[in-house]
Amino acid sequence: MASVVTLPLMEDFYTIQGEGFYQGSAAYFIRLGGCDVGCVWCDVKESWDASAHPLVSVTEMTRRAKDSGAEIVVITGGEPVMYDLMELTGTLKASGLRTHLETSGAYPITGTWDWICFSPKKFKLPHDSVLEKANELKVIVYNKTDFAWGEEFALKVNNECQLFLQPEWSKEKEVLPLIIEFVKANPRWQVSLQVHKYMNIP
């Protein structure tokens, strides 16, 4: 039965996941509008105001994702965990799609997920319940203090969690050499680059 639940949708598109554990894999992105985290370096500030984006039913979002031919659907934002995502993930999974989440963990996570990428932000601390659910910890490195910040979370997430350090795009030239040296000294971590930006795709 079609769901009447709606969520603010900023954009949705089929592309290549450019970051983290699934880097290089085809994925359908659903970018929900609304975020109250306030990262100073945010590259999707136009997502912040939820009311600027149309409400779209989860049935329609699922139909578009399914029609794309994708196997993986990435729910991102904005900050998607501001919303109850049970209905959206339930509808996607009922269509045979994998559900992946990109979140700062600012709120407890709802929904049924095949993969959770947790990227904590200093601007709004994550909810403790996210730490044990994360499959991937992705720390954005903007300056040197972010290594210690990332290590704090690496100690708190579950043992299976994959650890990634990713340069903030505008600081890449400056921080990538530091990341490389850090990963060589701490091989539990891996480097993540935003390879979609090199491919000039969204």
User: How many binding residues for ligand SF4 (CB under 6 A)?
Assistant: 12
The single residue among 37, 61, 81, 92 that binds ligand SF4, judged by CB under 6 A, is 37
* Distance (Å, whole) CA 48 – CA 34: 4
Integer Cα distance of 20 and 156 in angstroms: 19
CB of 37 to ligand SF4, least distance (A): 4
Site string for ligand SF4, 16-35 (x = CB under 6 A): -------------------x
Residue 47 binding ligand SF4, by CB under 6 A: yes
End-to-end CA distance of the chain: 32
Nearer to ligand SF4, 91 or 100 (CB): 100
Exposed/middle/buried for residue 101 (C-beta within 10 Å: 0-12, 13-18, 19+): buried
Does 85 engage in binding with ligand SF4 (CB under 6 A)? no
Extract the tokens encoding 137: 């910890």
Q: How far apart are CA 94 and CA 92, in angstroms?
A: 5
Peptide bond into 78 cis (omega under 30): yes
The Cα 14–Cα 69 span in angstroms is: 9
Residues 123 and 40 sit within 8 Å (Cβ to Cβ): yes
Taking CB under 6 A as the criterion, which residues in 147-186 touch ligand SF4?
none
By beta-carbon proximity to ligand SF4, the closer residue of 37 and 91 is 37
Closest approach of ligand SF4 to the CB of residue 126, in Å: 10
Nearest distance from C-beta of residue 102 to ligand SF4, angstroms? 8
Q: Is 79 in the site for ligand SF4 (CB under 6 A)?
A: yes
Contact between 104 and ligand SF4 by CB under 6 A: the answer reads: yes
Looking at beta carbons only, is 30 or 91 nearer to ligand SF4? 30
